[in-house]
Amino acid sequence: MKFGPSQFVLTGAVLLAAGGAMAQELREDALDIFRPLPSTVPAVADNPITPEKIDLGKALFFDPRLSASGVFSCYSCHNLTTGGDDNMETSVGHGWQKGPRNSPTVLNAVLNAAQFWDGRATDLKDQAKGPVQAGVEMANTPDNVVATLSSMGQYVEWFTDAFPEDADPVSFDNMAKAIEAFEATLLTPAPFDAWLNGNDAALDETELAGLQLFMDKGCIACHNGVNVGGHDYYPFGLIEKPGADVLPEGDKGRFAVTDTVDDEYVFRAAPLRNVAVTAPYFHSGKVWDLKTAVQIMAESQLGEAVTDEEADQIVAFLGALTGEMPQVITPVLPAESGTTPRPTQDIIIE
């Protein structure tokens, strides 16, 4: 059974109180489109996840010595206290250079089909190598990273424990695999998951009305699945292309990866979990208000305006995607030795 948004708002309180058939039908419809988060850390390809890898990956995630300057770590752009991103328009990296795109959240990123806005990294271990080598980010080289890690006995021990079958465990590839293992643990179960799993009280009537609108308006064409997005690529401006203040003309998205004309201004659909705490929005980072972002997407992707009331309800639903952070204790990192490469402000790789 389907019913209109206004009718749904009128009956929302009744649904919450009674947990009736209409609420169950909405849940059944939603389960055809979305999936709750897994209850355990998901497996990743070619990288069995172990406690030793997770612990090593956590240390590497927080260690600024993976950067040439000794200033920037993965955590710099993926702050776990502020939604798993840096809450900046675009990130700042080596030599205080400004990057070209907004930093996506690392939370639940293991569930994305690919990483980065243009999907150029197939998984998190591939993604972990990119910023380390990017001149505008951490500006380091694989050889310098390995030299840095090999110079600290505690890291050598941790790598040996995490990769016991490797004859030479301290490697750039294993660094990336360990970071992937840690990032795979960053799942944030949200009220929406509780509701999908049968808890009628997990969403209030405004959030339920927003969910119904999200489904009925067609937002689910791009934002579905376990991560409410992050699974495929779509043109930004399918119906009406936003202005250059939102969609910069110089960034053609996936075209840079595929060199295919059809991929101009095509981007991976943003995963919407924790979107309420990861402003600013879009790959350009130009929009700071979630309601405004919802209205822009309605016009540019769906070809219709949403009312203020409808936008508020959709934003309320999106707020129900804000999840509980796993407890992450900041690691104590190994101390440098006399052979540890010294920090440099030079850009040693482009």
The helix (run of H) or strand (run of E) holding residue 91 is none
225-254 CB burial, b ≥16 within 10 A, e <16: bbbbbbbebbbbbbeeebeeebbbeebebb
Q: What SS3 string covers 246-269?
A: CCCCCCCECHHHHCCHHHCCEEEC
Half-sphere exposure at residue 1, Cβ-oriented, CA atoms within 13 angstroms: 9
Cβ–Cβ < 8 Å for 174, 60: no
| Distance from C-alpha of 99 to C-alpha of 131, rounded to nearest angstrom | 11
Using CB atoms within 10 A of its CB, is residue 103 exposed (0-12), middle (13-18) or buried (19+)?
A: buried
Using CB atoms within 10 A of its CB, is residue 38 exposed (0-12), middle (13-18) or buried (19+)?
A: middle
Annotation marks residue 137 as catalytic: yes
Active-site residue, selected from the candidate residues 89, 137, 180, 310:
137
Q: Which amino acid, residue 270?
A: A
| Distance from C-alpha of 299 to C-alpha of 238, rounded to nearest angstrom | 9
Distances (CA, A) of 339 to 25, 147, 148, 151, 153: 64, 8, 8, 6, 11
From 315, 318, 117, select the one nearest 234 (Cα to Cα): 117
Catalytic residues: 137
